[in-house]
C-alpha cells in the first residue's frame, strides 16, 4: 500500500508541474484517410531520396556533416515511412486501409533495399574519415559499412540487380505469410455446454450462443488459450488445439517454401553457404554453427529437468487414465495447470480477481516509472484510429524524452499477438523517440473489469520493457544507432529480465488489488504462484528449443527437399517428450519464421543473458539501490552505439554464462529441497 501511495505522488507531481504537451505532433494527429496516409509515406520516401541524392552530389572532401549526417537523415525518413506503413497494416480497423498499408510496407521496403545496395552511397561512406570522431559516430560508420557489404553492395551490377529483386520478393512473401496468419481466424463449435466446464465464469458469460443458437470459440488468444488450459473436455481441447495449430495451413506451407528458396539464393549471391550463416554474420552469435551449438547446450541443460516435470504430468494424467504412458501436445497446458493445483496448491484462477486490466495498466506504468526514474503523463483528446488508444509522454527529471501509445484490446483484423512497434526514431535535439504497444488483452466493460491472466501481465511488462528501451536508448545523435538498433539477437534480453519484476510479491502488491474488495494480493499467494510457475520451465525451454531448431533447420542448408512438416515433426520428437497431434502444422502459423527466420534462438539466447543480468539486482527490493540506474546507464541508454557483446560485458564485467539460467529452470525443485531442509 505504502509504495503505491508514493508512486501516485510522483505521477501527480509530474502532471501538475509539466502540464504542457510535447510539441511533436502525435502519429495520428492529421486523422488521415487512405490518400492522405499514402501521401505521408510517399513524402517521407521523397525526403529520403532527396537526402540520398545530396550525398552523391557532394563535390570535394567528405565530412561527417555532408555525408554521414545526410545519410542518417535518409535513414530517419525511410524508417518513419516504414513505421507508419506497418502501423496501418497491423492496427487499422478498415481492411481496405490495412491492404494499402501492406502495399506501402512493400514500397518502403523496396526503397530500403535500394539504399542498402546503393554503391554510390557506400563509396561515399567508405571515403569518410571518422578517425577523429566520437566513439559512437565511429562505431556507427563502421557498422553501416559492414551492413552495406552484407547487402552485397560491392557485387557487380547484375548480381546487385538480382539481390534487389530477391529482396523485394522476400518482403512480399513475409507480408503474405503474416497476413495469412492474422486473416485465418478459425472457429470451433461447442457441441455441448459441458465442454466449457472448468473455464472461468466470466469466460463462459462472454461466450453466449449466437443467433444460430450455437456457441463458438475462436482461435484468437483470449479465446483459445483458456480453452486449452481449463476445459475439462479432452475432446474439446483437442479440437481447439487442432484448429489453432492448423491456422494458415496449407496456404503458408507454399509461402514458407518460397521464403526458404529466396533466402537461400540471397545467401549464395553474398558468398555464404546457408541463410543461417549469412543471417548470423552481423549478430552476437556470429555463425550458424554457433546456433547449432547453442541449441545442443540448451537441450543438455533442459532435458533432465523436463524429464522430471514430464513424470509429474504423467502421474497427474494417470489419476483419470491409469494406463497412460504418453502425453499429447494438446494436453500439456491443461495438465500443467492441474499439477500446479495439486502439487503446488495453486489455482491460477485465484490470481485473476487481483488483475483487472485498468489497475494492471496503472501498476505496470508505476513500476516502470520507479525502476527507470522517469514519469509518465497521459495526453488527452488525441486523435487515433480507434477510440481505445491512449497516448502518453515520457519525462526524465521533467524533460520530455519520448512518447508512447497503448492499443491494448482485440479488434477484428488486428495483429493478433503482443508487440512493441516503433513509431519514430529518437534523434537528440531533433526528434523524440515514439513507440506503441499492440496487445490483445480482454477489454473491460461496464459489468466486466477485464480480469487478466497472470501470464498476460508478464507479457505486458515485457513489451513495456521494449518500449522503455526504445525511449531511453533513443537519445542518440544519430537515428541509425538509436533505440534498439544494436545486434538483433540482443533485443529480447532487457525485456526478458523485466519479467522477473512481476514475480516480486512487493511489486505485485503495489497494484494487484482484488477487484471487489480492494485487498492487495497476499504475499503468500504470490509465493505459491512463483513456485507453481517455476514448474514447467524445463518443458517450456524444451519447447522453445524445438522451435529454435525448426527455425534453424529450415534455413541451415540448401532448401531443396527440405519438408517443413518433416522438420517440425523431427524436432518435436527430438526436443520435447510429448506426442505430436497428427494433422497439425504449427509452422504455418509460426509467424517468426518470416521475421526472425533462422534467428528464433534469440529468445533463449537472451533469456540466458536476462537471468545473468537479473543476478545483479537486489532481490530483496527490486526497485531499490544503485543497480537500476547503473543498468539504465550501461545497458539501455547506449542504444545501438556500441556492440551488444560490450553492453553485456560493461554491465556484468564478464561475458554471459548459463549458470543463472540453469538455476532458474530448476527453481521449483530447488525450492522444494529448501523447504524440506527448513522444516527439519
Binding site for Zn ion (CB under 5 A): 492, 495
User: Least distance in Å: CB of 372 to Zn ion?
Assistant: 17
Cis peptide before 250 (omega within 30 of 0): yes
Rounded CA-CA distance 343/340 in Å is 6
Cell (9 digits) for 350:
485465484
Nearer Cβ to Zn ion (246/495): 495
CA 580 → CA 301, 327, 541, 569, 585, distances in Å?
A: 23, 9, 17, 7, 10
Nearer Cβ to Zn ion (184/499): 499
User: Least distance in Å: CB of 642 to Zn ion?
Assistant: 21
Nearer Cβ to Zn ion (336/495): 495
User: Least distance in Å: CB of 138 to Zn ion?
Assistant: 30
User: Least distance in Å: CB of 643 to Zn ion?
Assistant: 20
User: Least distance in Å: CB of 419 to Zn ion?
Assistant: 7
Rounded CA-CA distance 277/288 in Å is 4
User: Least distance in Å: CB of 337 to Zn ion?
Assistant: 24
The DSSP result for 511-556, as a single string, is T-B-TTT-PBPPHHHHHHHHHHHHTTHHHHHHHHHHHHHHHHHTTS
Cα four-point dihedral sign 474, 478, 479, 485: negative
**∠ CA 530-352-316, rounded to 5°:** 55
Nearer Cβ to Zn ion (26/421): 421
The DSSP result for 112-148, as a single string, is HHHHHT-HHHHHHHHT---TTS-HHHHHHHHHHHHHH
Nearer Cβ to Zn ion (10/488): 488
User: Least distance in Å: CB of 472 to Zn ion?
Assistant: 16
Nearer Cβ to Zn ion (393/492): 492
Cell (9 digits) for 485:
538498433
Cell (9 digits) for 610:
536476462
What are the phi and psi torsion angles at 434 (to 5°)?
A: -135, 150
Nearer Cβ to Zn ion (137/597): 597
Nearer Cβ to Zn ion (243/371): 371
Residues 6+ apart with CB under 8 A from 417: 221, 440, 591
Nearer Cβ to Zn ion (195/492): 492
Nearer Cβ to Zn ion (489/492): 492
Nearer Cβ to Zn ion (173/492): 492
User: Least distance in Å: CB of 468 to Zn ion?
Assistant: 12
What are the phi and psi torsion angles at 201 (to 5°)?
A: -60, -40
DSSP assignment, residue 194? Answer: G
Nearer Cβ to Zn ion (498/539): 498
Distance of CA 672 to the CA centre of its chain: 32
Nearer Cβ to Zn ion (294/460): 460
Rounded CA-CA distance 489/284 in Å is 6
User: Least distance in Å: CB of 475 to Zn ion?
Assistant: 21
Q: Are 56 and 107 in contact (CB under 8 A)?
A: no
Rounded CA-CA distance 544/570 in Å is 14
Q: Are 658 and 293 in contact (CB under 8 A)?
A: no
User: Least distance in Å: CB of 470 to Zn ion?
Assistant: 12
Rounded CA-CA distance 105/89 in Å is 8
**∠ CA 590-594-597, rounded to 5°:** 95
DSSP assignment, residue 402? Answer: E
Cell (9 digits) for 235:
475432446
Nearer Cβ to Zn ion (416/495): 495
Rounded CA-CA distance 85/603 in Å is 26
Rounded CA-CA distance 551/279 in Å is 12
Rounded CA-CA distance 576/371 in Å is 37
Strand partners, 421: 436
Nearer Cβ to Zn ion (227/594): 594
Nearest Cα residue to 661 out of 282, 285, 294: 294
User: Least distance in Å: CB of 496 to Zn ion?
Assistant: 7
Rounded CA-CA distance 563/568 in Å is 9
Nearer Cβ to Zn ion (227/360): 360
| Nearest residue to Zn ion on Cβ basis | 495
User: Least distance in Å: CB of 618 to Zn ion?
Assistant: 25
Pairing of strands 390-396, 399-407: antiparallel
User: Least distance in Å: CB of 495 to Zn ion?
Assistant: 5
Cβ-based neighbour number of residue 388 at 10 Å: 12
User: Least distance in Å: CB of 215 to Zn ion?
Assistant: 34
Rounded CA-CA distance 18/16 in Å is 6
DSSP assignment, residue 234? Answer: H
Q: Are 69 and 407 in contact (CB under 8 A)?
A: no
Nearer Cβ to Zn ion (28/603): 603
CA 623 → CA 11, 356, 493, 498, 618, distances in Å?
A: 16, 23, 18, 11, 8
User: Least distance in Å: CB of 492 to Zn ion?
Assistant: 5
Amino acid at each position: 500500500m505504502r509504495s503505491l501511495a508514493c508512486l501516485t505522488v510522483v505521477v501527480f507531481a509530474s502532471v501538475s508541474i509539466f502540464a504542457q504537451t510535447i510539441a511533436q505532433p502525435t502519429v495520428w494527429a492529421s486523422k488521415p484517410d487512405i490518400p492522405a496516409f499514402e501521401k505521408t509515406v510517399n513524402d517521407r520516401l521523397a525526403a529520403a531520396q532527396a537526402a540520398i541524392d545530396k550525398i552523391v552530389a557532394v563535390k570535394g572532401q567528405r565530412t561527417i556533416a555532408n555525408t554521414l549526417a545526410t545519410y542518417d537523415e535518409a535513414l530517419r525518413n525511410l524508417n518513419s515511412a516504414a513505421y507508419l506503413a506497418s502501423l496501418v497494416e497491423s492496427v487499422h480497423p478498415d481492411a481496405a486501409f490495412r491492404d494499402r498499408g501492406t502495399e506501402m510496407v512493400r514500397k518502403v521496403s523496396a526503397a530500403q533495399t535500394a539504399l542498402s545496395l546503393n554503391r554510390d552511397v557506400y563509396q561515399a561512406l567508405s571515403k569518410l574519415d571518422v578517425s577523429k570522431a566520437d566513439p559512437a559516430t565511429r562505431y556507427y560508420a563502421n557498422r553501416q559499412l559492414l551492413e552495406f557489404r552484407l547487402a552485397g553492395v560491392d557485387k557487380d551490377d547484375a548480381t546487385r540487380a538480382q539481390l534487389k529483386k530477391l529482396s523485394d520478393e522476400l518482403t512480399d512473401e513475409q507480408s503474405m505469410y503474416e497476413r495469412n496468419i492474422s486473416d485465418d481466424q478459425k472457429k470451433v463449435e461447442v457441441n455441448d455446454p459441458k465442454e466449457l466446464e472448468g473455464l472461468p465464469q466470466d469466460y463462459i458469460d462472454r461466450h453466449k450462443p449466437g443467433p444460430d443458437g450455437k456457441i463458438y470459440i475462436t482461435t484468437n488468444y483470449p479465446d483459445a488459450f483458456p480453452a486449452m488450459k481449463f476445459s475439462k473436455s479432452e475432446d474439446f481441447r483437442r479440437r481447439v488445439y487442432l484448429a489453432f495449430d492448423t491456422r494458415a495451413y496449407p496456404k503458408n506451407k507454399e509461402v514458407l517454401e518460397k521464403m526458404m528458396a529466396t533466402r537461400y539464393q540471397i545467401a549464395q549471391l553474398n558468398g555464404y553457404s546457408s541463410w543461417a550463416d549469412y543471417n548470423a554474420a552481423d549478430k552476437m552469435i556470429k555463425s550458424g554453427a554457433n546456433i547449432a551449438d547453442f541449441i545442443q547446450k540448451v537441450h543438455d541443460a533442459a532435458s533432465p529437468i523436463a524429464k522430471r516435470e514430464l513424470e509429474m504430468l504423467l502421474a497427474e494424467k494417470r489419476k483419470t487414465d491409469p494406463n497412460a504412458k504418453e502425453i499429447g501436445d494438446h494436453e500439456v497446458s491443461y495438465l500443467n495447470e492441474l499439477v500446479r493445483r495439486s502439487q503446488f496448491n495453486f489455482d491460477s484462477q485465484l490470481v485473476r480477481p487481483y488483475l483487472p486490466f485498468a489497475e494492471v495498466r496503472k501498476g505496470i506504468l508505476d513500476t516502470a516509472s520507479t525502476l527507470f526514474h522517469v514519469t509518465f503523463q497521459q495526453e488527452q483528446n488525441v486523435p487515433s484510429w480507434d477510440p481505445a488508444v491512449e497516448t502518453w509522454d515520457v519525462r526524465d527529471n521533467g524533460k520530455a524524452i519520448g512518447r508512447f501509445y497503448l492499443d491494448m484490446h482485440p479488434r477484428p483484423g488486428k495483429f493478433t499477438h503482443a508487440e512493441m512497434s516503433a513509431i519514430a526514431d529518437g534523434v537528440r535535439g531533433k526528434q523524440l523517440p515514439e513507440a506503441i504497444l499492440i496487445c490483445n488483452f480482454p477489454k473491460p466493460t461496464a459489468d466486466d473489469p477485464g480480469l487478466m491472466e497472470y501470464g498476460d501481465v508478464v507479457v505486458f511488462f515485457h513489451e513495456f520493457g521494449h518500449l522503455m528501451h526504445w525511449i531511453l536508448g533513443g537519445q542518440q545523435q544519430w537515428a541509425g544507432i538509436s533505440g534498439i538498433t544494436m545486434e538483433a539477437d540482443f533485443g529480447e534480453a532487457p525485456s526478458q529480465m523485466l519479467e522477473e519484476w512481476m514475480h516480486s510479491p512487493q511489486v505485485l502488491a503495489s497494484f494487484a488489488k482484488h477487484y471487489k474488495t480492494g485487498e492487495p494480493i497476499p504475499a503468500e499467494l504470490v509465493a505459491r504462484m512463483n513456485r507453481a510457475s517455476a514448474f514447467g520451465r524445463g518443458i517450456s525451454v524444451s519447447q522453445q528449443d524445438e522451435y529454435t531448431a525448426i527455425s534453424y533447420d529450415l534455413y541451415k542448408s540448401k532448401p531443396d527437399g527440405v519438408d517443413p512438416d518433416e522438420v517440425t515433426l523431427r524436432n518435436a520428437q527430438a526436443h520435447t517428450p510429448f506426442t505430436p497431434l497428427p494433422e497439425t502444422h504449427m509452422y504455418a502459423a509460426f509467424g517468426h519464421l518470416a521475421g526472425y527466420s533462422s534467428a528464433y534462438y534469440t529468445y533463449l539466447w537472451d533469456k540466458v543473458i536476462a537471468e545473468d543480468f537479473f543476478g545483479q539486482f537486489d532481490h530483496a527490493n527490486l526497485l531499490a539501490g544503485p543497480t537500476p540506474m547503473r543498468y539504465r546507464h550501461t545497458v539501455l541508454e547506449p542504444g545501438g552505439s556500441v556492440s551488444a557483446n560490450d553492453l553485456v560485458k560493461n554491465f556484468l564485467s564478464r561475458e554471459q554464462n548459463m549458470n543463472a539460467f540453469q538455476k532458474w529452470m530448476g527453481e521449483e525443485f530447488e525450492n522444494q529441497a529448501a523447504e524440506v531442509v527448513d522444516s527439519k
